[in-house]
Amino acid sequence: MTRRWLLPGLLLFPVVEIVLLILAGRAIGGGLTLMVLLVGAVAGMWLMRKEGRRAWSALQGAAQSGRMPDRELGDSAIVMAGGALLAIPGFLSDLVGIFLILPVTRPIARRGLAWFFARRVGDIAARSPYGPLFDRMGGPGAPGGPGQQGRVVHGEVIHDDEHEVVEGRVVVRRRDPQ
């Protein structure tokens, strides 16, 4: 479903940017519109630098404390994406970029992106050849789920000459006296 809207969205984004620039140029004049874009780009780059440093120091602090810096990595990626959007001239891209960079709105963006990527990864895993092994956590088919003792995996037992594997233990096979 996401793929269906991706190409039209990518094609529509620059059109909306151009329409907004034309409307702003007609409303306040071309020179003032250019000045607003330049001031917005400079302010956005300053904000990106400031928040990027903050995200980098939080990432280093989490790594030094020995815990997984998942939130900090996400924040760093979001700040970088916001900075890239601020580098693109236009009002809509600046608005989205500032939304991604501001510490007040970044948790909203982080939750939205986490939801999107979790859904995408789940869909990709379900369509893979190993899809049945990736049951949703806590679902009825999940190991240890309600009414389940675990998943049965069909396989083949291979015997070699000296050892036989039985329930995860190595058992020395007895030789039959001949």
Query: What local confidence, expressed as pLDDT, does residue 140 receive?
Result: 47
Query: What local confidence, expressed as pLDDT, does residue 10 receive?
Result: 83
Examine the pLDDT at 169 and tell me if it is beyond 70.
no
Examine the pLDDT at 155 and tell me if it is beyond 80.
no
Residue-wise pLDDT tens digits, 25-71 = 999 998 999 998 888 888 878 887 888 788 888 888 888 888 888 88
Residue-wise pLDDT tens digits, 124-145 = 877 777 766 665 444 444 444 4
φ/ψ of residue 165, rounded to 5: -95, 120
The region, left, alpha or beta by phi > 0 then psi within -120 to 50, assigned to residue 73 is alpha
Query: What local confidence, expressed as pLDDT, does residue 142 receive?
Result: 47
The beta strands (E) that lie in the chain are given as 163-166, 169-172
Query: What local confidence, expressed as pLDDT, does residue 19 receive?
Result: 92
Residue closest to 72 by CA, chosen among 85, 89, 80, 60: 60
Q: Name the pLDDT band for 22 (thresholds 50, 70, 90).
A: very high
Examine the pLDDT at 20 and tell me if it is beyond 70.
yes
CB atoms within 10 A of CB 128: 11
